[in-house]
Amino acid sequence: MLLFLGAFIAGVLTVLAPCVLALLPVIVGGSFGGDVKDKKRPVIIAASLAVSLIVFTLLLKATSLLVDLNPSTITYVSGGIIVALGVLTLFPNVYATVLAKLGIEHRAQSALGKSFQNKNQYIGPIVTGAALGPVFSSCSPVYAYILATILPSNFTQAIALIVVYVIGLSLVLLLIGYYGQRFISKIKFASNPKGWFQRAIAILFIVTGLLIMTGYDKRVQTWVSQHTPFNFDKLSSKLIPKSERNIDETKLFNVEPYPAPEYKGLTEWINSKPLTQQELKGKVVLVDFWTYSCINCIRNNPYIEKWYETYKDQGFVVVGMHAPEFAFEKNVDNVKKGVQDQKLTYPVALDNDFDTWNAYKNQSWPTSYLIDARGNVRRVHEGEGKYTETEQAIRQLLQENGSNINMINAASTTDNAPITEAQTAETYLGGSRAGNYGGSPPLVGTPAIRDFSMNENLKSNQWSIGGKWEVMGEKIVARGSSTLNFKVSAKDVYLVGGSRQPQAIKVSLDGKPISETNAAGADIRNSSFTVSESKLYRVTSFPQFTKDAVVKLNVPDGVELNVFTFGS
């Protein structure tokens, strides 16, 4: 219930988001036309936007119908529609002619009923609302949380939450449109459809649409968030629940014991025959949710493997529950290769549809659940670190189960994973999740394949690309001999990517071939590394944490890049 309330409040607060502030004049402008006192127009534009946002979510996020559609296509369509509305409003005679020839007016009036018979009054707000729906979809951290965390595991709950979020958003937009209309209706010159005021609104539509198409609306949003009090993301993110469990980090067994859920919907098993939670009763079990290209998981896994090797003869079992973050991680052969590369010998199950993830009410990678011999969850740990505490809990549960482990030395030697606050954050490269991009043109709003110009004067933590690239939702794909540079602060730099055939990516560091420095990663050979199957590659390994180093990649045609991750 609290999450539903949070979703509603997030929808209400979205009006404070920089991406909405830039569009409020369009909302208000779309709420009046030839008859500025028509109270139906704000209702229509808010309802149309709500329906558009929900449909957009269903088509692009909740189904695989348009999985290969480039996100920039949606941006171009939305911006293009708004530009077209502005042009037709600027030249009303053209507007009427186009509607008449296409028969849009007649069909829309028939659909809306007899009460909507005023000429050309409602086409604009309907189309405006529909066009803005996809643009609004990136405006709230809560909306993003629902899509990324809840939607893969609980479709029904996610759609219900999105509907609640959209209701909150629509109510505020309705009020803005209504009161904006009332204010403008008091201005006499605003009612003239050919007057300068409505022409100014039409020009505003055109400018806004062009900003959306070119991606410059994102720069406006960034400026607003950095130079005004409207820090919406920070405010809205407080509505995201940290966990549905009451975890007491001061205790070794940090949750009230509860029965471990049964495994559900697992498609494949690696290193083991299929297992069930029921048949594992009598053993101490660690269920670890992970994915093979996640650097946090990769750093975690050696500890888990060591625990398995140390205690498996004492009644300890590990079940690695592999839940994919990217589409290529659903491929069992890729997962097998990841398991082999990371030298994991414990059982690994593929939870491709997030059924077990949902049963455990899991929220992130990596997260582990320590289960006692009676089948009750006793400890939950999210993220890296706390290794000695987790091993201490394993040993204690084994002792409770009658195992004699006093003669076995503990395997862990550290409590925390090496993370530095100044470290560059995990950075996605695909158009749907890209961050800190500093090149030209912007990633958002680019066509499927386009020429890019690399920025040689990057700020800290920025990256850019040069040459011809195809920008997709989860990745960018080199189309020809292309380049990428990244100004990073880290000790280790990792890259998740792949290629249909083995190809070498050349690497330079601060202008020098990386093999001529002392910072080459484990996968580097002669200043390059070979990309084949989609996985994580080790690009740099500085002797110590290094700030603002520029890593440059020369990327061959067809190589796919997904995400950079970092270590300190």
Distances (CA, A) of 433 to 17, 195, 322, 458: 18, 42, 22, 20
Q: What is the pLDDT of residue 153?
A: 61
Q: What is the pLDDT of residue 282?
A: 95
Distance CA 420, CA 424 (A): 9
Asked if the model's pLDDT at residue 143 lies above 90, the reply is no
Q: What is the pLDDT of residue 270?
A: 97
Q: What is the pLDDT of residue 67?
A: 41
Question: What tens digit of pLDDT does each residue of 531-560 get?
Answer: 988 888 899 999 999 999 999 999 999 999
Asked if the model's pLDDT at residue 55 lies above 80, the reply is no
**Both tokens of residue 486?**
């990244």
**Both tokens of residue 558?**
């067809």
Q: Compare 451 and 169 and report the one with higher pLDDT.
A: 451
Question: What tens digit of pLDDT does each residue of 458-510 get?
Answer: 999 999 999 999 988 788 999 999 999 999 999 999 998 999 899 999 999 99
Asked if the model's pLDDT at residue 36 lies above 90, the reply is no
109 phi/psi in degrees, rounded to 5: -65, -35
| Banded model confidence at residue 202, pLDDT cuts 50, 70, 90 | confident
CATH architecture of the region 427-567: Sandwich (2.60)
* DSSP reduced 3-state for 417: coil
Strand partners of residue 497: 535, 561
| Banded model confidence at residue 247, pLDDT cuts 50, 70, 90 | confident
* DSSP reduced 3-state for 335: helix
Q: Compare 93 and 440 and report the one with higher pLDDT.
A: 440
| Banded model confidence at residue 68, pLDDT cuts 50, 70, 90 | very low
What's 193's DSSP letter?
T
Asked if the model's pLDDT at residue 565 lies above 70, the reply is yes
Every domain of the chain and the residues it spans: 2-237, 258-400, 427-567
**Top CATH class, 258-400:** alpha beta
Mean pLDDT of 303-308: 94
Distance CA 328, CA 326 (A): 6
Asked if the model's pLDDT at residue 382 lies above 70, the reply is yes
Q: What is the pLDDT of residue 125?
A: 64
Q: What is the pLDDT of residue 426?
A: 81
Q: What is the pLDDT of residue 275?
A: 97
Asked if the model's pLDDT at residue 83 lies above 90, the reply is no
Q: What is the pLDDT of residue 462?
A: 94
Mean pLDDT of 86-113: 58
Cis before 366 (ω within 30): yes
DSSP string, 113-172: -TT--STTTTHHHHHHHHHHHHHHTTS-HHHHHIIIIITTT-HHHHHHHHHHHHHHHHHH
Q: What is the pLDDT of residue 209?
A: 75
Cβ neighbours for 554, distance < 8 A, ≥ 6 positions apart: 481, 482, 483, 505, 506, 507
Distance CA 414, CA 303 (A): 10
Chain Cα centroid distance, residue 402:
45
Distance CA 422, CA 412 (A): 26
Torsion angle (degrees, nearest 10) of CA 235, 237, 243, 246: -10
Question: Taking a C-beta distance cutoff of 8 angstroms, is the pair 50, 143 a contact?
Answer: no
DSSP string, 104-115: HHHHHHHHH-TT
**Both tokens of residue 447?**
């066509």
Distances (CA, A) of 290 to 223, 532, 567: 36, 22, 18
Q: What is the pLDDT of residue 248?
A: 79
Q: Compare 399 and 371 and report the one with higher pLDDT.
A: 371
Question: CB-side exposure of 105: number of CA atoms within 13 Å?
Answer: 12
| Banded model confidence at residue 192, pLDDT cuts 50, 70, 90 | low
* DSSP reduced 3-state for 449: strand
Reported as type and span, the H/E element at residue 330 is: none
Distance CA 22, CA 27 (A): 10
Q: Compare 235 and 326 and report the one with higher pLDDT.
A: 326
Mean pLDDT of 109-119: 43
**Both tokens of residue 26?**
């369009």
The listed range with the strongest mean pLDDT (80-89, 196-205, 437-446, 485-494) is 485-494
Distance CA 236, CA 317 (A): 40
* DSSP reduced 3-state for 349: strand
Q: What is the pLDDT of residue 108?
A: 45
Asked if the model's pLDDT at residue 110 lies above 90, the reply is no
The listed range with the strongest mean pLDDT (163-172, 321-330, 539-548) is 539-548
- Fold match between 258-400 and 427-567? no
Mean pLDDT of 120-132: 64
Q: What is the pLDDT of residue 112?
A: 40
Q: What is the pLDDT of residue 180?
A: 66
Q: What is the pLDDT of residue 145?
A: 64
The listed range with the strongest mean pLDDT (319-333, 400-414, 430-444, 539-553) is 539-553
Could you tell me the end-to-end alpha-carbon distance of the chain, in angstroms, rounded to an integer? 39
Distance CA 25, CA 16 (A): 14
What's the whole-model pTM score? 0.55
| Banded model confidence at residue 284, pLDDT cuts 50, 70, 90 | very high
Mean pLDDT of 427-443: 84
125 phi/psi in degrees, rounded to 5: -65, -35
Distance CA 231, CA 543 (A): 37
Burial of 252: CB neighbours in 10 Å, binned 0-12, 13-18, 19+: middle
Distance CA 380, CA 246 (A): 10
| Banded model confidence at residue 71, pLDDT cuts 50, 70, 90 | very low
Question: What tens digit of pLDDT does each residue of 208-228 get?
Answer: 778 777 766 655 655 555 455
**Both tokens of residue 250?**
């001061």
Q: What is the pLDDT of residue 370?
A: 97
Q: Compare 472 and 229 and report the one with higher pLDDT.
A: 472
Mean pLDDT of 365-393: 91
